Amino acid sequence: MLVRLLGPVDVAAGGESRPVSGLRRKAVLATLALYAGEAVSIGRLTGAVWGEAAPATAVNTLQSHVSYLRGVLGSRAAILARPPGYLLDLGAESTDVRRAERLLRQGEQPADPADRIRHLQAALELWRGPSLADLTGLTWLGDQAGRLDLLLTQVKYALSEARLAAGDHVRLIPALAGIAAEQPLDERVHAQLMLALYRAGRQADALAVYRRLRRTLDEELGIGPGQRLRDLETAILRQDPALEARTGDRRGEGTAARSAPAVGGGLRRAGCGAGQP
């Protein structure tokens, strides 16, 4: 049994989807699932579902929604009445969000790049569309969808790092270029793109990415790239051997990466909110 939030809200059981009807019912389920294993107060639930416009009958309606959701989940014990409200009790990994977080942790561990890629690809495949796709019109849940989008960004970054470590730089370039276009102020993805281009034998293109980012940061924020990105530019200009994939295969067919200046941790994500990867 899995409550799915990384896309339209529904329940998956036995390989089949169990749809949840009604905006408010989906909102109750999503709120409980975001706090899976923890009691969620009646006040938080009504606030998430109705905002400041909660009707006088909100508590009774909430009870009705919980009863309906127990039927969808197939057990009255799936949602427990626990002061000060209700608790979703489906086990340790009862939501696709928890599963994605676990796979991300595994994918960020120092391990064989192929293992990291396998975990991170599995995490990426949990997204079936925009997070909480049918609830973004509700204020609190819209904010939570933004948080889950940050989780998706973390997964994408980590997957790019693992693929770079595996020598898959040539095939990675189009995806990184797309992300860089979507996030023109993000230094980390630009660093990944620069390294992938350089390893593919495209030094001039890698430096052009740096110049474009430097210009955008100056025009939009009045700042320059961070030290780590400047160091990467210098290493590319010098054709530092530490930037090469271990096999030195310019076509991206290598299977492991040599120790190289980091392109991940420590790079600023200019213009991004706190907590953005």
CATH number at residue 56: 1.10.10.10
User: pLDDT tens, 37-83?
Assistant: 999 999 999 999 999 989 999 999 999 999 999 999 999 999 999 99
Instruction: Give a yes or no: residue 105 inside a domain.
Output: yes
CATH number at residue 264: 1.25.40.10
**Domain match, 174 and 100 both:** no
Instruction: Give a yes or no: residue 159 inside a domain.
Output: no
Between 271 and 150, whose confidence is greater?
A: 150
Q: Is 45 helix (H, G, I), strand (E, B) or coil?
A: helix
Instruction: Give a yes or no: residue 161 inside a domain.
Output: no
- pLDDT higher than 60, residue 206: yes
**Domain match, 76 and 112 both:** yes
> Where in the sequence is the domain holding 241, given as residue range(s)?
167-277
Q: How many domains does the chain have?
A: 2
**Domain match, 140 and 180 both:** no
What token pair was written down for 243? 């930037």
- pLDDT higher than 80, residue 249: no
Instruction: Give a yes or no: residue 158 inside a domain.
Output: no
User: pLDDT tens, 142-187?
Assistant: 999 999 999 999 999 999 999 999 999 999 999 999 999 999 999 9
- Cβ-count burial 32-64 (b if 16+ within 10 Å, e if not): bbbbbeebbeeebbbbbbbeeebeeebeebbee
User: pLDDT tens, 255-269?
Assistant: 333 334 444 444 554
DSSP string, 141-191: HHHHHHHHHHHHHHHHHHHHHHHHHTT-HHHHHHHHHHHHHH-TTBHHHHH
**Domain match, 179 and 68 both:** no
Predicted TM-score (pTM) of this structure: 0.85
- pLDDT higher than 50, residue 191: yes
Instruction: Give a yes or no: residue 160 inside a domain.
Output: no
